[in-house]
Amino acid sequence: MALFAENKELFLEKHSTDFHNSFMQMLGSRYKNGMHSAKAIYEDFISDPFHVHLNSTRWTSFTAYVKYLGKEGFAKVEETDGGWMIQYIDRTGILDKQKSAQKKAIVEKTDEERERILIQEQLNAAKKPDEPKQVFTELKREDDKPIKLALKPMQPKLIKPKKLSSLLKK
């Protein structure tokens, strides 16, 4: 009890997430098609001996949780004379599209970031003070002395001839 008193928000959030995930898993697997009574679904949910109890979550009642499902778009919710009705909304395709769009946006952002950095580097290079450039001039000889070049001849590399027997085998 002392642990809960120290960090109650953490415990409530964890239990709420666990309750929601297990309830949505059951709703998506057993009650995928059509409208179903929220009371019947909840009775089926609590029949599991290992279920997360609703009183350990942030929702004060199952009705509040049902309204949350409708508000957040996890399920289509209607209040009728017979009680609350729930219809599961399959969001796996929507979530996959959202994830791929997020990945694409990240890739585009990194491409744009690289381009921006490259342009910035080019601007910085253009702003640097001009370095002295080499100036090329005509070759002018002041005296008429002949030009002497001291070149050493290369030593030829000896190439060993292949054995005649290895050539004949091919």
pLDDT at residue number 85: 93
Q: How far is CA 14 from CA 53, 65, 145, in A?
A: 12, 15, 95
Claim: this prediction has a pTM higher than 0.75: no
Structure tokens at 78: 């209607």
CA distance linking residue 156 with residue 164, whole number of Å: 23
**Domains identified in the chain, total number:** 2
Same domain, yes or no: 63 and 35: yes
Q: Which of 58, 64, 106, 69 is nearest to 91 (CA)?
A: 69
Give percent of the chain with pLDDT exceeding 70: 83
Same domain, yes or no: 82 and 97: no
Same domain, yes or no: 35 and 95: no
Give the tens place of pLDDT for each residue, 26-40: 888 888 888 999 999
Domain limits at 107?
A: 91-126
Taken as a whole, the chain contains a residue count of: 170
CA distance linking residue 6 with residue 100, whole number of Å: 39
pLDDT mean over 98-119: 82
